[in-house]
Structure 1
Amino acid sequence: MATGTAAAGLVRACHPEPTAAVTVLSALLALRLGHDAATLVLVVAAVFTGQLTIGWSNDLVDAGRDRAVGRADKPLVTGRVTARTVGVALTAAAAACVVLSLALGLAAGLVHLLLVGCGVGYNLLFKRTALSWLPYAVAFGLLPAVVSLALDPPEWPPAWMMAAGALLGVGAHLVNVLPDLDDDLATGVRGLPHRLGAARARVTAVVVLVAASVLVVLGPGRPPAWAWAGLAVVAVLAVVALRGRGSTPFRAAMAIALVDVVLLVLRS
């Protein structure tokens, strides 16, 4: 029972939703770019261990703050898993990430390690500054490059794809922080969303995510009809996100991000 509880705590502490989302996005991009099965598995494994590294380091760094505000959803606060266990898992994930990343090739490996470094840098430093958006912009902008540089021969993705990824990252940061603004402020965290305030952060998130949508639809050339339809869906969701009440704006903004991901994969 104790082992099962610790395992469940490790899963919760790795931030499973964003970990799964980024890993699946990398897999879809790899499929779209025509990677063979072996390279596809390697891309997924490298990205997955990188996301575990980011997620577990986040919960370890924030454990004191989470206890201060009584975060019952955090396993390090509730005792479902110990800091030592998370630390061991983090070390294993980081080591595996280095090996798997470099196995993709030197260019793809170094770019992916820079991406993971951005995530860890956010946890350690940038989260508390006005530049909290920067690691997200760099990391999401580099994700398509990790996948395309793993091709044989390696190639950089088009500029529009990296720019769209960066915008998507900034939007994801703003949306992700919104539910925790009060807890963050109570423990001294003042990233960009906190400085903007809830209302302006929400508007900024919607604007950035819509900009990503427009770039994905128009960037690669003449858009097909389904791409215009996707952009129309984004426009409707943007209105809901700006005018809705309660949790509706948050869900609508998340839906825009999801549509952006689908459009990015299909237009790649």
Structure 2
Amino acid sequence: MTGRRVTTAAALIRASHPEPGIAVSLLAMILAVTWEASGGTTALIGVAAMTGQLTVGWSNDLIDRDRDQRSNRRDKPLATGVLQPALVRGATALSLAATVGASLSLGVRPGLLHLTLVATGWAYNLGFKRTVLSWLPYAVCFGGLPVVVSLAAREVAGPEWTIIAGALLGTGAHLVNAVPDLEDDRRTGVVGLPHRLGARRSINLATALMLTGTVVTVVVPVSSVDLFAVVVLAVSGALLVVGQLASGRGPFRAVLGIALVNVVALLLRS
């Protein structure tokens, strides 16, 4: 019985899309610490972000269950039958309740904004990903996250450049994230912006967006090009060159590298 529970718990974690959930939650908490939020506020931000991400991840796999079965996705516990839909629906409902509670505990303005971002993630799962506007929920969510954290930590919306940089990063992340599954998605009726562009053009556009985000992040806050900006732009430029010259998954990895540089630069400039 214990082994079955461990297997079920591990499958639930897999079905939640843990990597982006953990990454977003850590980014939100680090921003909170950077903006001198209290320990309690930082913890609440982490809980709200993580539970919100859980609802988006689990709802994604619930909605896509039939598609994943047709694509023979062995990495999807709902598609393989390791998890039953009723269990995941229950976990989603509990996480949603926790998201509402943690979000509103941050205050009315940051709480309602965060819940709006979570709803935007659900909107992507429910239909936006099938349209040319598939990028929009990512832009809204990544651009809005710094505002949520700043409102909770400092009761102000925060610098506008963080919204722009976040939106650029989110749109690029959507393009990159979709590339590995383009063919499976097309076969099962999902035709978002990356599917219309194709793999190579999606990577190229993601690279351009993230490099623009790099410039915004390192130049706009100080209104000049200092040594930090030069180093960050040089690293991003080198990754761009590597991505253009590489074959296979090289361009994909190069864009992920630029995304990581952007996140570090955002934290250091905030």
TM-score by length of 1: 0.97
Q: Could you tell me whether the CA contact under 8 Å between 2:32 and 2:153 is conserved in 1?
A: no
Aligned counterparts of 2:218 and 2:40: Cα–Cα separation in 1: 31
Aligned counterparts of 2:165 and 2:84: Cα–Cα separation in 1: 38
Aligned counterparts of 2:50 and 2:229: Cα–Cα separation in 1: 29
| Structure 2 equivalent of residue 92 of structure 1 | 94
| Structure 2 equivalent of residue 262 of structure 1 | 264
Aligned counterparts of 2:209 and 2:21: Cα–Cα separation in 1: 22
Select which of 113, 116, 133 maps to 2:118. Answer: 116
Q: Could you tell me whether the CA contact under 8 Å between 2:236 and 2:261 is conserved in 1?
A: yes
Structure 2 counterparts to residues 126-145 of structure 1, below 5 A: 126-145=128-147
| Structure 1 residue 84: Cα displacement | 1.2
| Structure 1 residue 224: Cα displacement | 4.0
Aligned counterparts of 1:70 and 1:243: Cα–Cα separation in 2: 33
Q: Could you tell me whether the CA contact under 8 Å between 1:5 and 1:81 is conserved in 2?
A: no
Aligned counterparts of 1:207 and 1:101: Cα–Cα separation in 2: 34
Amino acid at match of 1:169: G
Aligned counterparts of 2:136 and 2:123: Cα–Cα separation in 1: 10
| Structure 2 equivalent of residue 249 of structure 1 | 251
| Structure 1 equivalent of residue 208 of structure 2 | 207
Q: Could you tell me whether the CA contact under 8 Å between 1:164 and 1:215 is conserved in 2?
A: yes
| Structure 1 equivalent of residue 157 of structure 2 | 156
| Structure 2 equivalent of residue 45 of structure 1 | 47
| Structure 1 residue 78: Cα displacement | 2.0
Aligned counterparts of 2:82 and 2:245: Cα–Cα separation in 1: 39
| Structure 1 residue 80: Cα displacement | 2.2
- Identical amino acids, percent of aligned pairs: 51
Aligned counterparts of 2:163 and 2:259: Cα–Cα separation in 1: 15
Tell me whether 235-244 or 11-20 shows the greater mean CA deviation: 235-244
Tell me whether 1:106 sits opposite 2:114 in the alignment.
no
Counterpart secondary structure, 1:174 = helix
Runs of 5+ in structure 1 lacking a partner? none
The number of residue pairs the alignment matches comes to 267
Aligned counterparts of 2:229 and 2:33: Cα–Cα separation in 1: 19
| Structure 2 equivalent of residue 14 of structure 1 | 16
Cα gap change, 1:247 to 1:264, in 2 (>3 Å): same
Aligned counterparts of 1:223 and 1:14: Cα–Cα separation in 2: 41
Structure 1 vs Structure 2 CA RMSD: 1.0
Q: Could you tell me whether the CA contact under 8 Å between 1:202 and 1:242 is conserved in 2?
A: no
Tell me whether 1:232 sits opposite 2:244 in the alignment.
no
Q: Could you tell me whether the CA contact under 8 Å between 2:139 and 2:170 is conserved in 1?
A: yes
Structure 2 counterparts to residues 8-87 of structure 1, below 5 A: 8-87=10-89
| Structure 1 residue 228: Cα displacement | 2.1
| Structure 1 equivalent of residue 169 of structure 2 | 168
TM superposition outliers: structure 1 runs of 4+ over 4 Å: none
Deviations 1:214-262, CA, capped at 9 Å, x for gaps: 1101110135423321221111111222231111111111111111111
Aligned counterparts of 1:243 and 1:187: Cα–Cα separation in 2: 32
| Structure 1 residue 190: Cα displacement | 0.3
Aligned counterparts of 1:130 and 1:187: Cα–Cα separation in 2: 16
